[in-house]
Structure 1
Amino acid sequence: MTAILVVDDDPHLLRALRITLQAHGYDVTTAADGHSALLSATQNPLALVILDLGLPDLDGTAVIRELRTWSRVPILVLSARHGSEDKVDALDAGADDYITKPFGLDELLARLRALLRRSTDPALEPVVTTDAFTVDLEKHRVTRDGLDIRLTPTEWKMLEVLVRNPEKLVTQQQLLSEVWGPAYAKETNYLRVYMAQLRRKLEPEAAAPRHLITEPGIGYRFLP
């Protein structure tokens, strides 16, 4: 049974999540603060952690950083904080995805399934296919409708980072650092320009993208 740790200081939400997740077949452990969460994570093999940022003892971001010193377990952050800065901090600390309270249980379960799929899938296949285009990571080749699409080296690097992290939210800072280097971590205008170019080349409708998705103020997500 898939083991999940849920960390939140709201006892009503903690109970509701435990009941819901157990009803969907998950083995659920709960914790009401950061120290209990870290202790539980060391004692139980986990498939995923659902973590609130607003904990009474440790900030959730500190819990993420501590977990990341020894574990690659997927982390789905829950928070009532709506500012993009908090989301970026949590993602840059090592969280894998983020959902803002209040949230729908269907969305939470979908995000959870996506994270579990990525963590249990074998190594990413060298060829990634969508209904609009195909990316061959080994050959550095992109095709659409059977025709080769010419990408600049920068467009390719940006697309490669996203494709190698399917469904995962990649922050602006991560993309800028990996494609242009750490010195460019604040040049978000670069991303807008190159993302627009990629969408014109790859998306059936550049103005309504289905695969290269913007998470406003935070980053981008590739949906196969």
Structure 2
Amino acid sequence: MDDDDKPASLASPACFLHEVDPAYAGLPDPDAPRDWPQVNRWRKAERDRLIAARLAVPAETRAAFGASIAEQVLAEIGAAAGLVVSGYWPFRGEPDLRPLLQNLAGSGARTALPVVIAKGQPLEFHAWRPGDPLERGVWNIPIPAAHAPVIPDIVLAPVVGYDPACYRLGYGGGFFDRTLAALPRRPRVIGVGYSGARCATIHPQPHDIAMDVIVTENGVVRPYASTTRVLT
């Protein structure tokens, strides 16, 4: 099972609402997937498409996008001294924010990386500063060699895809949603990705948790206020 649950049903529309563009009304497209098996297949296909698309972008272009994203993330965080900020190690063409972590550590923040403990379990966040020893974790992604769990104030979450409500399409393991639900206090979650990863909707499920904002090379996406969940 991926990070989604059985979708809820949709109530009858208000008078004339059926005549409004579904995307404008916050409703799914009539041809959109309506049940979990369809959503699951759609998410897998969309995930594969988006990852292939970002890997096809030249490395120097992705580097420029990453620099723009880092600058905007820094502005979103503001004064970082004393905060615990969890970043990530870039994987499969994700924006490389390691220079940002170094910048934050130099300004007095405590930085960390996420660590997969076991399948189906929440992530842990372990303290790490650029230059500290690393070891290989799941999928050979580097993780801190020292076991020093922390509770982050801010989590930088890479997205495979995202929608206007700031719901995140990830890799399908459900780690981030599970982790956010389990933390003793809710950190501010800043999704990061490329503008080309935008979807009309990711067909969010009952336990999907929206990011507070999504930062792309083209600007900051803030969730619209009217409808925060598109039911499928």
| TM-score with structure 1 setting the length | 0.38
Higher RCO, Cα 8 Å, sep 6+: 2
